Amino acid sequence: MINIFAIADSQEESVATPALNRMTLFFALLALVGIGAGLYAQMVGHHHAYANTRELPWGILISTYAFFAITSTGLCLLAAISHIFGGNQMAPLANRMVFLSIATIMGAFGIIGMEIENPHRMLIYNMLSPNLTSNIWWMGTLYSMAVGFMFLEFYLILNKQYKQAVTLGVMGAIAEVLANTNLGAVFATQAGRPFWYGAQLPIFFLACAFLSGAAAAIIFTHYAFKIRNIELDETTFSGMQTAGKVLALMLFLVSVATIWRFIAYYAGGEEAARVAADALVSGPLAINFWVFEITFGLAVPLALLMMSSLKSRQMMYYAALMTLIGQFVSRYDLVVAGQIVPEFAGWSGMPFNLRYMPSITEILVTCTGFGIAGALFLIGERFFGRTFGEGSSHH
C-alpha cells in the first residue's frame, strides 16, 4: 500500500526560514509578472507586444523555452543513469535531479504557453487532430509524456517504491531523449534556413542537454546546502565531483562540435549559412558569441574545472553557473542567427541582416521560466528535503 503521507515524512521544517520564504515569494511573484505580461500580449496581440516579425517569427521566448527544455532533459537523463546503476557516485544527487527536471520543464511550459498565441488550441487539438508528420507535435507530446512519467517516478520515490520508480525513470528518460531530439529536428529539418538545416542539431541538442544538466545539478546542489548553512557531506561532494567530470567532458565535446559546425559553414555550405555564421563571428551577434557563448560559456568553465581538479566546490559552482549562462545565450544566438538572413536575400530593398531586439514584454515573459523553476526548487527543498538526501539508497 502506497503511503499517501510520504510528503509529511519528507519535509524539512528547518528550511522554512523567513529568508527562504521571502525568496520563494520573490520567485513566485517573478513568475506571476511573466504570466501577467503574457496575458497582456494575448489581449493586445503578439504582433504589438512582441518584437517578432513575419520575417523573424521566433525570438527570445523560443530560445528560453529550448534552454529550459534541454536542461530538463539533461537532469532527467543523469538521474536515470544514476538510478539504473545504483551505488555510483552521482546517486546522492539523483532524487533532487528528478525533481529539478520537473521544475525546469514546467518553466519551459510556462514560457511556451505565453509564446503561443492560442495555447488552448494546442491542448484541445493535440489529441483531437494529431499531426504525426510534425516535429513540433511530437516534441510537445513527448515532453508531456516525459512530465507524466517523472511525476509518477517522483511520487514512487517519495513512497520508497524504488523498483517501480526506476522503470518510470527509464521511460521518462527515453521520452525526454526523443522530445529533445525532436526539438533539434524542429530547426534541423527546415531547408529554408540553411544555418539550422542538417543532421547535427538533434545530436548537438542532446550533448547540450548533458552539459546543461550537469551544470544545473552542481548549481542546485550548491544552493541546497547553502540555504541550510551546512557543509557538503563526503558522499554528496563526491557526487558533485562526478557531475563536474560530466560537465568537463561535455564542455570539451560541445566546444569541438561548435568548431566543426562553423568549419562546415565556411568549407562549402550555402551562402545564407555563411552569412548567418558571419553574424555570429563578426556581425551583430559577435559579442554574444565570443564573450558569452565561447569564452564565458565554454573556455573559462573548462579552465576552472581543470585548474581546480574538481576539488573546490566553489570553483565547480562558478564553472557550472558560467556554463548555464553561456548555454542560455547560445540558444538565443542559434535561434536568432538562423533567421537573421532574409529568405529573399539579394533582392532589391531587402536588408543584408534582419534586426531583432526583444521587447520589454518578451523579457518579462522570459522571467516566467526562472520564476517557476526557482520557486519549485525552494518548495522542493522545503517539502522533499529528506528524500533528496536518500539518493544513494535508490537502486
What does the pLDDT profile of the chain (395 residues) look like in tens digits? 445 556 666 777 778 789 999 999 999 999 999 999 999 999 999 889 999 998 899 999 999 999 999 999 999 999 999 888 766 788 889 999 999 999 999 999 999 999 988 877 877 888 888 888 888 899 989 999 999 999 999 999 998 898 899 999 999 999 999 999 999 999 999 988 999 998 899 999 999 999 999 999 999 999 999 998 888 889 999 999 999 999 999 999 999 999 999 999 999 878 889 999 999 999 999 999 999 999 999 999 999 999 999 999 999 999 999 999 999 999 999 999 999 988 765 555 555 678 899 999 999 999 999 999 999 999 999 999 888 877 555 44
Domain positions in the chain are 29-382
- Domain 29-382, CATH: 1.20.1630.10
pLDDT confidence of residue 16:
79
Structure confidence by residue, pLDDT tens digits, 243-276: 999 999 999 999 999 999 999 999 987 888 999 9
Looking at residue 8, its pLDDT comes to 63
Cell of 121: 488550441
Supply the DSSP string of 124-152, one letter for each residue: HHHHHS--TT-HHHHHHHHHHHHHHHHHH
280's torsion region: left (phi>0), alpha (psi -120 to 50) or beta?
alpha
For the chain, the first-to-last Cα distance in angstroms comes to 20
Q: Max CA-CA distance within the chain? A: 72
Nearby residues of 368 by Cβ (< 8 Å), 6 or more positions away:
30, 31, 34, 35, 38, 107, 110, 111, 114
Supply the pLDDT for residue 349.
55
Calpha distance 11→166 (Å, rounded): 23
H helices of the chain, in order, are 6-10, 18-44, 46-49, 60-84, 94-115, 119-128, 135-158, 162-188, 200-228, 234-266, 271-281, 286-287, 300-308, 313-337, 360-388
Using a CB cutoff of 8 Å and minimum separation of 24, what contacts does 199-206 make?
200/257, 200/261, 204/254, 204/257, 204/261, 205/66, 205/70, 205/180, 205/181, 206/73, 206/177, 206/180, 206/181
